[in-house]
Amino acid sequence: MEKLTKRESQVLTELLKNAKTTDQEIARRIGISRPGVAKIRGRLETRGIIKGYRALPNYEKLDLKIHAIILYRWKDYSKKQELEEVIEYIKKQPQIILFVKGEGMGSKTDAIISIHEQLEDYEKFIRNLKNVWKDNVEDIEVFLSSVSGINKEYLLNSPALEKISQIVKQ
C-alpha cells in the first residue's frame, strides 16, 4: 500500500472532490504555495496514485435518457479466446461507461453499465451484445432506469476519502 504524506493526502482529497480545482485554489485551501501543490500533484501522478482526470457528463443534456445495468454470468472460462473477443468488443462500445469483472448477485461474474438515447437503442445494443456472446453467457439480469433517476453521480466519496486520511505517513 502506498503511504501518503499529510500534504499529499490533502491535495488528493481536494482533487477527488473536483479534479478541475486549480493548484492556486488547492494551495489556498490547505495553506501552502501553488508551486508546492504542483510538485505534490506531479509526485502523485508519477507514483500512479493519480491515473488521470475525467469529465463527468450530464447525460440528460446530451439527450441520453436510458441507464442500463446488465449483470450476467460467463458459462465457461476455459473458452479464453471467446472471452477475450467479448472483452475487446465491450471495450469498443461507446454506450458502455463501466465494465466490471467480479462476483455478484446469483453468482453473476460481470457487470456492464451503459447509457442510451432511447429504449430502441438499448434493445439494439443488447441484441448485438447477445450475438457477440453467442451461447457463452447465461443468466442475464437487467435493470433499466431513466438517467433522471440517477440520484448520485459515480464519484469517489466519503469512504474513499476516509481511506486516504488513514494511509497518511506518520
Q: Are strands 96-101 and 110-116 parallel, antiparallel or unpaired?
A: antiparallel
pLDDT recorded at residue 163: 67
Domains of the chain: 6-55+155-166 (1.10.10.10), 59-149 (3.30.70.920)
> 164 near 13, Cβ under 8 Å?
yes
pLDDT recorded at residue 159: 61
Question: Mean pLDDT in the chain?
Answer: 87
Backbone angles phi, psi at 19, to 5 degrees: -65, -15
Kindly compute the dihedral angle of the four CA atoms of residues 11, 13, 16, 19, in this order, to the nearest 10 degrees. -20
Using pLDDT thresholds of 50, 70 and 90, give the confidence band for residue 17.
confident
**Does residue 168 register a pLDDT over 90?**
no
Residue closest to 7 by CA, chosen among 25, 30, 38? 30
Between residues 35 and 102, which one has the greater pLDDT? 35
Distance CA 103, CA 77 (A): 14
Q: Render pLDDT for 35-90 as a digit per residue (tens, 0 to 9).
A: 999 999 999 999 999 999 888 788 888 889 999 999 998 888 888 898 889 999 99
Using pLDDT thresholds of 50, 70 and 90, give the confidence band for residue 28.
very high
